Structure 1
């Protein structure tokens, strides 16, 4: 066979569909059994963990009871904005009567707005048809709030006319459009694989909402909840998106081992840095609402879940690279397969670290801006609780990711052998 024909055949294996590579790669019975038994151990542990940690009780809200968004004599109603006044200048304040400007027939119907006020018509809920006038923060006015926007307001019944207070902008419509564009883009570009990825994403969200958050709220061990959740999510997402194959199973095993390493590193780092898990007012607010929370456990769980997506990305990539190399070059020694795949893995590690770093930077941008204004030594600034948490989160996720790449690559290179037909075809070339 000519050298040109051989190159074409190799290229076809390297960039063909997953099924072609899977057919050209054979995994021995003993190796296959070892991988599946290892995965079964993780799955059994996750099932036991889910049963053990399942939140079958309410969080401990203390004497005050669960937090309420409205008192007994108030309720949330929906209103459409009809007029928005200019934001108040520095030193000025919007006109407010007893915390809210009255609306309705007995209120200031048709009155001109002062700075910082918004007029809206109640469209759903008690007081439907009322003209509600209420102040909003300057940043709300400057965000682009305009006539026709839907807002959620708090209605406080009173003699004569109810009073209204601004709660939030209703953003469901805009979010639905954004979600629709995302779904269409994924399905058009990635087709069935993208659609299955969306299904896996939805199932993963269900795990977080129905198990992870409730379990953490009742004070269960954060690392145990994280490992149980991560295993359930990854089994569902990876097999749903990439199908049932040894390639997917190797990637899954590498991901779960990487998750375990990340959790252990997070525990060690948290102990060494003496982090409490409460570094800002959000944590303090949660502590005031729910008693008995393990905030250090919450931090560990957050560390594990944050790096889950990137970790899975590198492991499935490395397993696929090994499978494609083995399919394209059946006679290549395992050591050479590993070395070739690791050259790609190193590039992937570098780009993934950038992803983690800038993702955290973007999420904590306002905090970083505030810290940069302080006239203190750099090492002292990064030792503050909120920044140390982000640094620990980034570094532990990155270390787990880095270690998962050679682990997954080595495991895949060790297991993947050329199928007999592919070996015979290579021998004839």
Structure 2
């Protein structure tokens, strides 16, 4: 029995599983690595701000607010004195007009602000103007609090998840964004970048094992499907990618940028964030159900029921996330006088519908894809694993499992429960 425990069929099935997973993922990883090297951007030069001016930081030292003249469209009139702490004119005190327009807030002594130094903007006008607030300190505290919560609850797994998050942002900021600005096809860059993020983040967060590898394969297949569907329906709906103010601004400042490809790139990268959660859950679910399964088909059917419940919640998450990000747009729809049909088929809203629908289809497809892959490489136990010296307790499946598995045989499945 000892010989059967250490050298029985279990190691052979484990070798088979490793061969299947390796045959799929190693070529994909090599292609991703080669594409990263070929598409890696050189030094991308920024374009000059068309508005002109230089950025500076300052602290408000005094505020002189006056009553606005009758009939004036301004809500607050007067000036403030700001001590420049960084940038042009550091150490000097400058007079600025009180901020006007939508979203502007009142200034008070002690406020830290962002200034724009543009002496020739208005002839005879002030050289400095307040354009924003400094938020670095509260943001640092917020991020520190989030990190503390993750580490307190997740412990070592929290550390690995933060490492995966850092890698994801690293690829986005060092590869995806610069490569698109460098003129590379946005969709290709997004697919390569998302694949690199997926390999690095999932293995860092969940460890190098068969379950993670199955999740990686399922995520990769779902990403490809999402990209193909996005490209198909972007062409079918005749979307240009220039439906938003941000895209229009990019089209002016970055001539030649593929806005349609940029739209598809956003869809692929946005889908990745939800896909990895679903695929990892399904891979682990199949692994946990494997010892008690009688066949791969039975294992698939059991795990897919769990997947349906998970995907129902995840789909709701996607829709609510898009709705929350587009809440001002929803208010415009509710307050507008145009028919809803015309609004929905307009360029801007059609892009949002495309993102939501394609992302949802990719998410739903990831469940059967990942479950099927996990069941394919699994080695069902032929029934509930029996107890014995290696399991330390009675059979979980009842007396029937004892008759199906003579003493000494269940140890071949003990590794699955580890």
Give the shorter-chain TM-score range.
Answer: 0.7 to 0.9
**Alpha carbons 2:212, 2:280 under 8 Å: kept:** yes
TM superposition score normalised by structure 1? 0.80
Within the candidate set 242, 246, 249, 1:282 is matched to 246
What is the distance in 1 between the residues matched to 2:84 and 2:216? 52
1:29 CA displacement? 2.4
* 1:68 equivalenced with 2:32 (yes/no): no
Task: Encode CA deviations 1:120-166: one digit per residue, 9 max, x unaligned.
Answer: 22233424141433221354444x75432211112345999973111
1:216 CA displacement? 1.1
Q: Residues 35 and 358 of structure 1: is their aligned pair in 2 closer, same or farther, counting only changes over 3 Å?
A: same
1:373 CA displacement? 2.5
**Alpha carbons 1:94, 1:117 under 8 Å: kept:** no
What does 1:96-107 align with in structure 2 at a 5 Å threshold? none
Map of 1:111 onto structure 2: none
Which structure has more relative contact order (CA 8 Å, sep 6+)? It is 1
**Alpha carbons 2:290, 2:381 under 8 Å: kept:** no
Q: Residues 147 and 139 of structure 1: is their aligned pair in 2 closer, same or farther, counting only changes over 3 Å?
A: farther
What is the distance in 1 between the residues matched to 2:67 and 2:172? 40
Alignment gaps of 5+ in structure 2: 1-9, 388-394, 396-404, 411-418
Q: Residues 361 and 264 of structure 1: is their aligned pair in 2 closer, same or farther, counting only changes over 3 Å?
A: same
Within the candidate set 253, 256, 259, 2:220 is matched to 256
**Alpha carbons 1:155, 1:162 under 8 Å: kept:** no
Q: Residues 214 and 124 of structure 1: is their aligned pair in 2 closer, same or farther, counting only changes over 3 Å?
A: closer
What does 1:59-98 align with in structure 2 at a 5 Å threshold? 66-68=47-49, 71=52, 74-83=53-62, 85=65, 92-93=72-73
Map of 2:158 onto structure 1: 194
Within the candidate set 77, 81, 96, 1:133 is matched to 96
Map of 1:343 onto structure 2: 305
1:88 CA displacement? 6.6
**Alpha carbons 1:310, 1:352 under 8 Å: kept:** yes
* 1:311 equivalenced with 2:275 (yes/no): yes
* 1:124 equivalenced with 2:86 (yes/no): yes
* 1:384 equivalenced with 2:350 (yes/no): no
Q: Residues 89 and 185 of structure 1: is their aligned pair in 2 closer, same or farther, counting only changes over 3 Å?
A: farther
Q: Residues 25 and 154 of structure 1: is their aligned pair in 2 closer, same or farther, counting only changes over 3 Å?
A: farther
1:186 CA displacement? 0.7
Task: Encode CA deviations 1:266-297: one digit per residue, 9 max, x unaligned.
Answer: 01110111100110221111111111111111
Map of 2:370 onto structure 1: 408
Map of 1:7 onto structure 2: none
TM superposition score normalised by structure 2? 0.82
1:89 CA displacement? 10
**Alpha carbons 1:186, 1:194 under 8 Å: kept:** yes
Q: Residues 160 and 281 of structure 1: is their aligned pair in 2 closer, same or farther, counting only changes over 3 Å?
A: closer
Q: Residues 92 and 52 of structure 1: is their aligned pair in 2 closer, same or farther, counting only changes over 3 Å?
A: same
What is the distance in 2 between the residues matched to 1:269 and 1:137? 42
**Alpha carbons 1:154, 1:164 under 8 Å: kept:** yes
What is the distance in 1 between the residues matched to 2:299 and 2:355? 33
Map of 2:16 onto structure 1: 30
Task: Encode CA deviations 1:15-57: one digit per residue, 9 max, x unaligned.
Answer: xxxxxxxxx9995423321211211121111122112222236
What is the distance in 1 between the residues matched to 2:160 and 2:209? 15
What is the distance in 1 between the residues matched to 2:80 and 2:103? 10
1:318 CA displacement? 0.3
**Alpha carbons 2:94, 2:128 under 8 Å: kept:** no
